[in-house]
Structures are given as structure tokens and as C-alpha cells.
Structure 1
Amino acid sequence: MMYWNDGGMNGWGLGLMTVSMLLFWALVVFGGIALVRYLGRTAPHGPAAPAPPAAPPQRPTPERVLAERLARGEIDPDEYRARLDTLRGGDPPAVG
């Protein structure tokens, strides 16, 4: 019996081998890139994730400002109570 190509590969075998070799090397390269990116992201010396934006500072209420002035000693307790009543809509105290 006579064997053509002395038992060598035909066109389909050569094509399949070429495609499988290209897929193998593509997988190796993709795996290497994915590994480097993963290790770079989880490394402690890598860049930190950006902090979430801070909430805008809220303005203190007038009552809070008044209480802080009392705590700093800028006003006395009688003046504090009189101003607090005025802020809350009470009658202003009679002066003098």
C-alpha cells in the first residue's frame, strides 16, 4: 500500500495546528496582562481609590450661633435668653 506524503499532515491538520497555536499564545498574553493588572490594582503601594466627594458644609442655625456665643462668653445668659426668645418669635424684652 502506498502512503501519500509519507504519513505527514494534510492541509486540515496544518490549519488546525496553526489556529490552535495562535489561540494558545493569545491566551498566554491575555492571562499575563490580566495578572499584571490584577496585581497592580491590589498592591498596597498602588494608587488609592479616590475618596467620595465630601458633603457641602452646612450653615449653623441662628440658635446654634447664639449658643456658641454664650459658650465663648461673648454674651451673658440673660442676653442669650432674650435673643433666643426673639429668634423663636416671642415678644422682645422691654429695655430700660
Structure 2
Amino acid sequence: MHDYSSNYGGMHLIWWIIWMFFLVWIFFVPADIPYQKSKKESPLDILKRRFANGELSKEEFQESKKILDNNN
């Protein structure tokens, strides 16, 4: 049988703690995983981003935003 009363008995507990730490870290810590599907941008988000980048003028932005608001 196994005798855990030796000096190495504490290592068994340490390894369990290390494994539990890794399991918690893998499953519960949010992380950006490569090739993970990203959140799909809404049309309004795209419109705001284009306006912020200077691709649209203020008038074009407001007109497009009115069109999007009427469709909802």
C-alpha cells in the first residue's frame, strides 16, 4: 500500500491545487481566442465607425441614421 506519511505527501496536495488552478483558469477566465467568432456589428455601429474615421460627412451620417432609425 501507499504510505503518505513521508516528506513527499504534501506534494500530492500541491499538484491537486495546481491542476484545479489551471482548470479554473481555462474554463472561467475570459480571453480572446484566435479565430473566435467576433460579435457582429450592427448597421448603426458601422455607421458610427465610418463617421468617426471621416468617411462620411455630418449630413451623410445624419441622413443615414434617420434611414436606419425608420427601419427599426
Query: Equivalent of 2:50, from 34, 50, 69?
Result: 69
Structure 1 CA distance for aligned equivalents of residues 70 and 5 of structure 2 = 72
Which AA in structure 2 matches 1:75? L
Aligned length: 61
Deviation at 1:75, TM superposition (A): 0.7
Unaligned runs of 5+ residues in structure 1 are 1-25, 91-96
- Considering only aligned residues, what root-mean-square deviation do their CA atoms show, in Å? 3.2
Q: How does 1:1-96 map to 2 (within 5 A)?
A: 26=1, 29-31=3-5, 35-42=10-17, 49=22, 50-52=25-27, 54=30, 57-89=38-70
Greater Rg by CA:
1
Identity, % of aligned pairs? 15
Which AA in structure 1 matches 2:27? P
Structure 1 CA distance for aligned equivalents of residues 47 and 11 of structure 2 = 58
Q: TM-score, normalised to structure 2's length? A: 0.58
Structure 2 CA distance for aligned equivalents of residues 57 and 31 of structure 1 = 52
Which AA in structure 1 matches 2:55? E
Q: TM-score, normalised to structure 1's length? A: 0.46
Deviation at 1:57, TM superposition (A): 2.7
Unaligned runs of 5+ residues in structure 2 are 32-36
